[in-house]
Amino acid sequence: MSGRGVGRQPKYMRIATQLRAGIEAGEYGPGQRLPGENDLMAAHGVARMTARQALAVLQAEGIVEARKGAGVFVRDFRPIRRHGIERLAHAQWGSGRSVWTADVGERNLVVDSVEVAEEDAPAAIAGVLALGDEDRVCVRRRRFVLDGKPVLLSASYLPAYLVAETPITQPDTGPGGTYARLEELGHRPVRFREEIRSRMPNSDESAQLSISPGTPVMLIGRTAFDDQGRAVEVNEMVLDASAYVLEYGFEA
Amino acid sequence: MSGRGVGRQPKYMRIATQLRAGIEAGEYGPGQRLPGENDLMAAHGVARMTARQALAVLQAEGIVEARKGAGVFVRDFRPIRRHGIERLAHAQWGSGRSVWTADVGERNLVVDSVEVAEEDAPAAIAGVLALGDEDRVCVRRRRFVLDGKPVLLSASYLPAYLVAETPITQPDTGPGGTYARLEELGHRPVRFREEIRSRMPNSDESAQLSISPGTPVMLIGRTAFDDQGRAVEVNEMVLDASAYVLEYGFEA
DNA sequence: TAGTGGTCTAGACCACATT
DNA sequence: ATGTGGTCTAGACCACTAC
């Protein structure tokens, strides 16, 4: 081999850096095709694996997307804004609107699939909801699709004995959704806590959200409390991080 | 080659899946070493590149960390909790405490480096702060280190003409920090907006936070408004996502 | 059909960390 | 000194996409 010690940097990294610069300079715009493996082999006189490695760097950074049989393309981002606080104001769900219409502006965010089940409570959930070992939970799993692309998985956990025989155990919870039903049950949510983390998706999340390599997920864990200070719902959400900006506004 | 069509899955993926299962089953605990490239080659009868690819999958998922010359190890996570709202309550900075002491509990989060400069405003910042083309900004760049590991980069932008000749242009802003000084200038922050995104780090962020492969960053963009509704500060933060949980609590 | 990215082999040398 | 992961070559066959 020749001159690896010279550049101080691995070849694949130099190639990746050069391509990245081209993208940032607008030489390759969003949606456009980059030089492929064969192009890079010829242009830089390297083996296929080395060219692949360079492209893999950009994929891992999430700025580029490989399409089998077609090429490698610059990714485009159009995240939607999720208002963490206003969207849960009582006026929103008190008036019969879906909590999800406030989010998206002109774009089309819809529920793709709903699945309701009664299950044993995972330990972490049971702890938050203050359930006993025997208590079960009602789980509402939903997937949301934006313009045809799945962007959000949601699993809502509620104490089974609390919501039994109510529309909450049905796919369609009726006007105002789960929170309006909880209010009718005497457990109006008055306080919320949201916890946000981020990590790379596991293979399951990756498949369900068809997440491209190099894209993390954001995890929102929301707990709803009634006026007794009692946790009545835990909602675990998994978001495609490239599709979302979360916003929180508050007073000092 | 033999039998790739049989398993329906690539070899490296089968190997990765098996290792992942071992980790989830506790067979390899946090901090423990996984079978290395040579082990996997022998155990599965594959070439080095294939074994590498399997380990690369787990690295990209952020659940495993390679240490050159030593081996591949299961990562350990101990995120710290950042309270997005209580921490900015007036009582916190009004009484002369640092905004950063409320966060961390027993652990040791300290400022590693401070850099203050007057610069031209980036377009996006200028827009939020409603600056003209000629206006400049005071930029306060800081890096925070938790138990020896850098976890947070912060860049605070303020209109230069507003903070000129004040302690805000000094590395040490005095008791209560920037917000206490803004209050003395008649621009007490009364409202905040935080926007949260997540993506993979660029090479600069990766280096400054020494982020391991497969770990995203969270970006918090905070805007502070005074009682005139005027934006007086924009703070752009980059967090190591494996080190943080963000928390927001609010009323319905 | 031609070209693309995806997987895989069987070698090699290197810098590095631990023993 | 040994073993580890990191880089790289030069081949190969495959499935897929676009024409």
pLDDT for the residue B89: 77
Closest Cβ opposite residue A247 in set B191, B195, B241:
B195
Strand C closer than 7 Å to the CB of B10?
A: yes
Per-residue model confidence as pLDDT tens digits over A44-81 = 999 999 999 999 999 999 999 999 999 999 999 989 88
CB atoms within 10 A of CB A228: 10
- Indicate if B166 and B223 belong to the same structural domain: yes
- Indicate if A69 and A96 belong to the same structural domain: no
What is residue A243's DSSP assignment?
G
- Indicate if A56 and A118 belong to the same structural domain: no
**A160-191: buried (b, 16+ CB within 10 Å) or exposed (e) per residue?**
bebbeebbbbeeebeebbbbbbbbeeebbbeb
State the pLDDT confidence band at A98, using cuts at 50, 70 and 90: low
Chain A hits for B189, Cβ within 8 Å: 252
CA dist A82 and B51 (Å) reads: 41
Q: Which of B182, B197, B203, B204 to mutate to test the interface with A (most CBs of A within 10 A)?
A: B197
State the pLDDT confidence band at A8, using cuts at 50, 70 and 90: low
Averaged confidence pLDDT in chain B: 89
Q: Could you tell me the distance in Å between the CA of residue B112 and the C1' of nucleotide C4?
A: 48
The single residue listed with the structure tokens 């954001």 is: A218
- Indicate if B135 and B214 belong to the same structural domain: yes
The strand order across the sheet containing B136-146 reads: A80-83, A244-251, B191-199, B217-225, B231-240, B149-159, B136-146, B109-120
Domain count for chain A? 2
Q: Could you tell me the distance in Å between the CA of residue A245 and the C1' of nucleotide C3?
A: 38
pLDDT for the residue B99: 54
Secondary structure string (H, E, C) spanning A70-87: CEEEECCCCCEEEECCHH
Strand C closer than 7 Å to the CB of B68?
A: yes
Q: Could you tell me the distance in Å between the CA of residue B143 and the C1' of nucleotide D18?
A: 49
Is B133 part of a structural domain of the chain? yes
C-beta separation of A104 from A146 below 8 A: yes
Closest Cβ opposite residue A191 in set B192, B244, B252:
B252
Question: Of A220, A249, A232, which Cα lies nearest the Cα of A191?
Answer: A232
**A20-24, A59-63, A85-89, B228-232: segment of lowest average pLDDT:** A85-89
Is A252 part of a structural domain of the chain? no
- Indicate if A45 and A121 belong to the same structural domain: no
CA dist B225 and B221 (Å) reads: 13
C-beta separation of A170 from A138 below 8 A: no
Is A163 part of a structural domain of the chain? yes
Strand C closer than 7 Å to the CB of A130?
A: no
Question: How far does the CA of residue A63 sit from the closest CA of chain B (Å)?
Answer: 9
- Indicate if A200 and A85 belong to the same structural domain: yes
Which of B55, B74, B93 is the last residue before a domain boundary?
B74
Question: How far does the CA of residue A48 sit from the closest CA of chain B (Å)?
Answer: 13
By a Cβ cutoff of 8 Å, what residues of chain A touch chain B? Answer: 17, 49, 60-62, 79, 84-85, 88-90, 188-203, 213-218, 241-242, 244-252
pLDDT for the residue B5: 37
- Cα B239 to chain centroid distance, Å, stands at 1
SS3 A42: helix
Q: What are phi and psi of B98, to 5 degrees?
A: -75, 145
CA dist A135 and A128 (Å) reads: 13
Strand C closer than 7 Å to the CB of A52?
A: yes
Domain CATH for B39 = 1.10.10.10
Q: Could you tell me the distance in Å between the CA of residue A146 and the C1' of nucleotide D18?
A: 27
pLDDT for the residue A97: 60
Q: Could you tell me the distance in Å between the CA of residue B241 and the C1' of nucleotide C13?
A: 36
Comparing every residue's Cα with the C1' atom of nucleotide C19, the nearest one is B70
Where residue A228 falls (left for φ over 0; alpha for ψ -120 to 50; beta otherwise) is alpha
Tokens standing for residue B219? 């970006």
Q: What are phi and psi of A77, to 5 degrees?
A: -125, 130
Is A190 part of a structural domain of the chain? yes
Domain holding A230, by residue range, is 80-247
Q: Could you tell me the distance in Å between the CA of residue A114 and the C1' of nucleotide D11?
A: 50
Domain CATH for B181 = 3.40.1410.10
Which of B22, B42, B74 is the last residue before a domain boundary?
B74
The single residue listed with the structure tokens 């508050």 is: A250
Where residue B244 falls (left for φ over 0; alpha for ψ -120 to 50; beta otherwise) is beta
- Indicate if B95 and B154 belong to the same structural domain: yes
Secondary structure string (H, E, C) spanning chain B: CCCHHHHCCCHHHHHHHHHHHHHHCCCCCCCCECCCHHHHHHHHCCCHHHHHHHHHHHHHCCCEEEECCCEEEECCCCCEEEECCHHHCHHHHHCCCCCCCCCCCCCCEEEEEEEEEEEECCHHHHHHHCCCCCCEEEEEEEEEEECCEEEEEEEEEEEHHHHCCCHHHCCCCCCCHHHHHHHHCCCCCCEEEEEEEEECCCHHHHHHCCCCCCCCEEEEEEEEECCCCCEEEEEEEEEEHHHEEEEEEEEC
Comparing every residue's Cα with the C1' atom of nucleotide D17, the nearest one is A69
State the pLDDT confidence band at B1, using cuts at 50, 70 and 90: very low
C-beta separation of B102 from B60 below 8 A: no
- Write out which nucleotides of chain D lie closer than 7 A to a protein Cβ: 3-18
Per-residue model confidence as pLDDT tens digits over A9-27 = 899 999 999 999 999 999 9
Residue B3 has pLDDT above 50, yes or no: no
- Indicate if B185 and B113 belong to the same structural domain: yes
**A95-99, B146-150, B160-164, B183-187: segment of lowest average pLDDT:** A95-99
- For chain B, what is the radius of gyration of the CA atoms? 23
Strand C closer than 7 Å to the CB of A68?
A: yes
Partner-chain contact B61 A251, CB within 8 Å = no
Partner-chain contact A89 B197, CB within 8 Å = no
For residue B67, what are the β-bridge partners? B71
- Indicate if B57 and B175 belong to the same structural domain: no
Is B252 part of a structural domain of the chain? no
| Amino acid (1-letter code) at residue B206 | S
C-beta separation of A219 from A198 below 8 A: yes
Per-residue model confidence as pLDDT tens digits over A167-184 = 999 999 998 899 999 999
C-beta separation of B191 from B232 below 8 A: no
Which of B74, B103, B124 is the last residue before a domain boundary?
B74
Average pLDDT of the segment spanning B210-225: 95
- Indicate if B125 and B183 belong to the same structural domain: yes
User: Percent of chain A having pLDDT more than 70?
Assistant: 92
Element housing A7 (H / E): helix A4-7
Q: Between residues B84 and A145, which one has the greater pLDDT?
A: A145
| Degrees to nearest 5, angle at CA B23 with B5 and A221 | 105
Chain A hits for B196, Cβ within 8 Å: 196, 218, 245-248
Is B200 part of a structural domain of the chain? yes
Is A133 part of a structural domain of the chain? yes
- Indicate if A47 and A92 belong to the same structural domain: no
- Indicate if B17 and B136 belong to the same structural domain: no
Question: How far does the CA of residue B168 sit from the closest CA of chain A (Å)?
Answer: 20
Is B210 part of a structural domain of the chain? yes
Partner-chain contact B250 A250, CB within 8 Å = yes
State the pLDDT confidence band at B84, using cuts at 50, 70 and 90: confident
Closest Cβ opposite residue B60 in set A60, A79, A85:
A60
Averaged confidence pLDDT in chain A: 89
pLDDT for the residue A89: 76
Residues 25-64 of B with CB under 7 A from strand C: 45-50, 53
Strand C closer than 7 Å to the CB of A3?
A: no
Tokens standing for residue B156? 């605070």
Partner-chain contact B249 A195, CB within 8 Å = no
